């Protein structure tokens, strides 16, 4: 059931929520006070490794007609693309390293190696998703306007194709993300500003041309007779990056224990209650340090949702304090091995492709519908003040 009052769901008093909020604020202050050379060295090291892998992969693919070189070049290029998107681009664009005042490593300047323009990502992800995390009708990441990921979302016969949509979203993930801020749902409802849509489409098309030209024309052409083998290597590297990014992101939002919320939860939501919603709406996964780096530190999704603009290399130490607070206030801290988390995600995708009554789930009303019915009594949507 989607939660309409997370404080009541967690059985916390007003004093408890206020104390919890103050504790999280203290964590923020402590980490901000610690930021320094160690963090700057970390992100610069990641960028150096990522770019080194990219150059090594591109150079190796000059010999891509030979299978060992094709495999090695593709592997290094895929690793470079994963690092750039996950540990570097995603975290830099969150403003985690803006305090360095380095114009190259700043959220306002970074443009990442994917087909979605950074400006659109920062709106659809940094603002919409991190502000309205898992709120049905507000957070478009709940199914990416393609999948039914909550039993409260309406089912229709087209939902039977969800296993296919899920597969296509995984292998074409960067293209799905590119459409994310275009508000496809708004197109169907015809409630979009045509000029705004036109501007976004032009911006996306420019980025698509750049990425396609780089990966499928320029770099393959530079390898001369190895054009086709290099082109397939680049396509394979993008495919690996797409599937990996999809799996990591879905494991942070849709395993068992990551809850959904109705828009009622947003009414009079304080910063402390926002923290509480992030804990209940996010999930972590366990693994080695290398796994966490390749996952963009999103194995610490709970910590990332609590503090999206704090340096990602600090998440392990933040996690210790967050777990202690969750234990103190008897709050869930959803985590598990990556394979287990994705297994739960996959089961949810399959199960929700069917009507609730077919799978034993209770019939529930679409929370967006009930909210719309109450709309005349509301005074308007409030602004949320968050750290996102």
Give the pLDDT confidence of 342-378 residue by residue, as tens digits.
999 999 999 999 999 888 766 665 555 545 544 444 3
DSSP secondary structure letters along 4-30: S-HHHHTT--HHHHHHHHHHHHHHHHH
Reported confidence tier of residue 180, pLDDT bands at 50, 70, 90: confident
Burial 324-357 (b: 16+ CB within 10 A, else e): ebbeebebebbbbebeebbebbeebbebbbeeee
- Structural domain contains residue 342: yes
- Structural domain contains residue 254: yes
- Structural domain contains residue 67: no
Residue 284 tokens, joined: 């972590």
CA 181 vs CA 118, 125, 157: distances in Å:
11, 9, 26
Least confident of 115-119, 298-302, 365-369, 375-379: 375-379
- Structural domain contains residue 182: yes
| More reliable by pLDDT, 195 or 117 | 117
Q: Answer yes or no: pTM beyond 0.85.
A: yes
Residues 366/186/175/154 CA torsion (nearest 10 deg): 20
- Structural domain contains residue 72: no
Residue 275 tokens, joined: 């923290």
Cα–Cα dist 120/93, whole Å = 11
Give the per-residue pLDDT at 50.
98
Least confident of 16-30, 193-207, 215-229: 193-207
The torsion angles phi and psi of 3, rounded to 5 degrees, stand at -90, 135
Residue 337 neighbours by CB under 8 Å, 6+ apart: 285, 286, 287
Average pLDDT, rounded, for the chain = 91
In this predicted structure, the answer to whether residue 100 has a pLDDT above a threshold of 70 is: yes
Contact predicate 78/86, CB 8 Å? no
- Structural domain contains residue 309: yes
The parent domain of residue 244 ranges over 6-34+123-285+298-377
**Of residues 284, 286, 278, 274, the one with CA closest to residue 259:** 278
Cα–Cα dist 90/71, whole Å = 27
Rounded mean pLDDT, 21-28 = 98
- Structural domain contains residue 306: yes
- Structural domain contains residue 333: yes
Cα–Cα dist 182/207, whole Å = 14
Dihedral sign for Cα atoms in the order 181, 187, 193, 194: positive
How many domains does the chain contain in total? 1
Give the pLDDT confidence of 315-342 residue by residue, as tens digits.
999 999 999 999 999 999 999 999 999 9
Contact predicate 250/345, CB 8 Å? yes
Cα–Cα dist 188/352, whole Å = 23
CA 6 vs CA 12, 24, 74, 319, 346: distances in Å:
9, 17, 46, 21, 26
In this predicted structure, the answer to whether residue 123 has a pLDDT above a threshold of 80 is: yes
């Amino acid at each position: 059931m989607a939660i309409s009052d997370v404080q009541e769901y967690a059985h916390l008093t007003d004093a408890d929520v206020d104390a919890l909020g103050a504790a999280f604020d203290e964590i923020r202050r402590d980490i901000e006070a610690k930021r320094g050379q160690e963090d700057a060295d970390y992100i610069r090291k990641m960028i150096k490794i990522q770019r080194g892998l990219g150059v090594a992969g591109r150079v190796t693919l000059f010999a891509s007609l030979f299978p060992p070189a094709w495999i090695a070049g593709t592997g290094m290029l895929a690793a470079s693309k994963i690092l750039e998107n996950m540990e570097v681009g995603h975290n830099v664009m969150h403003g985690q390293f803006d305090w360095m005042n380095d114009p190259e490593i700043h959220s306002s300047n970074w443009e990442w190696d994917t087909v979605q323009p950074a400006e659109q990502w920062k709106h659809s992800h940094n603002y919409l998703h991190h502000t309205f995390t898992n709120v049905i009708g507000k957070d478009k990441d709940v199914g990416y306007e393609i999948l039914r990921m909550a039993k409260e979302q309406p089912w229709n016969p087209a939902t039977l194709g969800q296993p296919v949509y899920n597969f296509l979203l995984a292998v074409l993930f960067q293209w799905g993300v590119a459409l994310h801020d275009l508000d496809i749902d708004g197109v169907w409802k015809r409630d979009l500003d045509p000029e705004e849509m036109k501007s976004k489409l032009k911006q996306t098309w420019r980025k698509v041309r750049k990425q396609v030209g780089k990966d499928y024309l320029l770099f393959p052409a530079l390898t001369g007779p190895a054009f086709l083998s290099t082109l397939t290597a680049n396509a394979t590297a993008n495919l690996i990056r797409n599937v990996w990014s999809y799996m990591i992101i879905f494991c942070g939002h849709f395993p068992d224990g990551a809850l959904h919320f109705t828009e009622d939860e947003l009414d009079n939501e304080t910063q402390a209650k926002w923290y509480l919603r992030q804990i209940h709406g996010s999930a972590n996964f366990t693994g080695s340090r290398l796994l966490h780096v390749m996952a963009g530190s999103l194995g610490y999704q709970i910590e990332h949702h609590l503090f999206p603009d704090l340096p990602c290399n600090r998440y392990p130490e933040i996690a210790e304090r967050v777990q202690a607070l969750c234990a103190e206030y008897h709050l869930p801290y959803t985590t598990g091995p990556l394979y287990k988390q994705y297994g739960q995600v996959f089961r949810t995708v399959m199960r929700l492709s069917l009507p609730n009554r077919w799978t034993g789930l209770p019939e529930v009303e679409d929370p967006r519908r009930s909210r719309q019915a109450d709309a005349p009594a509301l005074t308007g949507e409030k602004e949320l003040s968050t750290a996102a």
